[in-house]
Amino acid sequence: MRDAVRAAAGIAVALALHSLLSRTVSSWTPLFHVFLLVVLFAAQLRGELFGAVMGTFSGLVVDTLSLGVFGIAGLSMTIIGYLAGAVAKRINVLSFFRNFLFLFIMTALEFILWSLLAILLVGQPLAGARSLLARPLVTALVGAVLFSTYRRIQKRHGK
Binding site residues, other proteins, CB under 8 A: 12, 15-16, 18-20, 22-23, 26-27, 29-30, 33-35, 47-49, 52-53, 55-56, 59-75, 78-79, 82, 114, 121-122, 124, 127-128
Residue (121 or 153) nearer to other proteins, CB: 121
> What is the distance in angstroms between the CA of the first residue and the CA of the last residue of the chain?
21
Of 63, 65, 80, which Cα lies nearest the Cα of 122? 63
Of 77, 56, 62, 55, which Cα lies nearest the Cα of 30? 62
Least gap, CB of 105 to other proteins (angstroms): 20
Residue (44 or 56) nearer to other proteins, CB: 56
Residue 122 burial by CB count (10 A; 0-12/13-18/19+): exposed, middle or buried?
A: exposed
Residue (22 or 95) nearer to other proteins, CB: 22
Least gap, CB of 87 to other proteins (angstroms): 14
Of 144, 145, 71, 64, which Cα lies nearest the Cα of 106? 144
Residue (68 or 150) nearer to other proteins, CB: 68
